[in-house]
Amino acid sequence: QSVLTQPPSVSGAPGQRVTISCTGNSSNFGAGYDVHWYQQLPGAAPKLLIYSNTNRPSGVPDRFSGSKSGTSASLAISGLRPEDEADYYCQSFDTSLRRCVFGGGTKLTVL
């Protein structure tokens, strides 16, 4: 059972917009800790996608955006492309557990 809760799967057609939710609690998001998102393509290592709630590293398309409010966060992907098909993970820090925590991951399928 992950500390951060994500839906196991989402799907969308090419060109559509999808969102992936990440629900935390008062010990992580509610305590002011930021959310970060990683993309893991099949057979590859994770890659930083969004950091500090809303920021994109250099090279990440602006089709990817993040937000956080209260104890919830979300990743939005607009203009879906087949190459976006991957697993997506949210991550934060939990002050109660005193450690880095990940969501369980969400598999995005591009129909």
Partner 1 sequence: QVQLVESGGGVVQPGRSLRLSCAASGFTFSNYALHWVRQAPGKGLEWVAVISYDGNSQHFADSVKGRFTISRDDSKNTLSLQMNSLRVEDTAVYFCARRSITTNIASYYIDVWGKGTTVIVSS
Residues that bind partner 1 (CB under 8 A): 2, 32-34, 36, 38, 40, 44-48, 51-52, 57, 87, 89, 91, 93, 98-105
- Is the Cβ of residue 68 or residue 77 nearer to partner 1 in the bound state? 68
> Residue 66, by phi and psi: left (phi above 0), alpha (psi -120 to 50) or beta?
beta
Of 100 and 111, which has the nearer Cβ to partner 1? 100
Contact yes or no for 92/32 (Cβ under 8 A): no
Min dist CB 57 to partner 1, Å, is 7
Task: Tell me how far, at minimum, the Cβ of 1 lies from partner 1, in Å.
Answer: 11
Output 32 or 82, the one with its CB closest to partner 1.
Answer: 32
Residue 34 · residue 97 · CB < 8 Å: no
Q: Taking every pair of C-alpha atoms in the chain, what is the biggest distance, in angstroms? A: 40
* Least Cβ distance, residue 36 to partner 1 (angstroms): 4
Cα-flanking dihedrals φ and ψ of residue 68, to 5°?
-150, 135
